[in-house]
Amino acid sequence: EAQVTQNPRYLITVTGKKLTVTCSQNMNHEYMSWYRQDPGLGLRQIYYSMNVEVTDKGDVPEGYKVSRKEKRNFPLILESPSPNQTSLYFCASRLTGQGIGTNEKLFFGSGTQLSVL
């Protein structure tokens, strides 16, 4: 089944303790992206990746890192989490290869609810 898998679904941690949220897709998609969702602010893009070893900052990259060593995986790393990073996080992916238009559907993971105490 085609899907984007995020883990964990829920995470409670303390300030300063490094954590990683994993994201994996099984559709051979080039494009992957991380968003955070906060009430009243919609989805804000953290980082995105157009392909392996190609990553770019989104609107709110501060305090986050990503890597794209393999096509299927796009982990989100919080080196020193702070309470203002408490949020609902979504990973997404889509096709953007040569010859593919920009109108390809975005596939979303189920979300990770992160609480930083």
Partner 1 sequence: AQSVTQLDSHVSVSEGTPVLLRCNYSSSYSPSLFWYVQHPNKGLQLLLKYTSAATLVKGINGFEAEFKKSETSFHLTKPSAHMSDAAEYFCVVSDWGSQGNLIFGKGTKLSVKP
Give the C-alpha separation, 85 to 52, whole Å.
26
User: Looking at 41, 70, 79, 117, which residue binds partner 1 (CB under 8 A)?
Assistant: 41
Closer to partner 1 at the Cβ: 42 or 62?
Answer: 42
Sign of CA dihedral 42, 112, 106, 75: positive
Closer to partner 1 at the Cβ: 85 or 93?
Answer: 93
Q: Please answer whether residues 16 and 81 qualify as being in contact, where contact means their C-beta atoms are separated by less than 8 angstroms.
A: yes
- Under the binding rule (CB under 8 A), the answer on residue 44 touching partner 1 is yes
Please give the residues from 75 up to 104 whose contact with partner 1 meets the rule CB under 8 A: 90, 92, 94, 96, 101-104
- Choose the stretch contacting partner 1; rule: CB under 8 A; options: 7-15, 61-69, 73-81, 108-116: 108-116
Strand order across the beta sheet in which 65-66 lies: 4-7, 19-25, 76-78, 65-66
Residue 83 three-state SS: helix
Binding site for partner 1 (CB under 8 A): 31, 33, 35, 40-45, 48, 50, 56, 90, 92, 94, 96, 101-106, 108-111
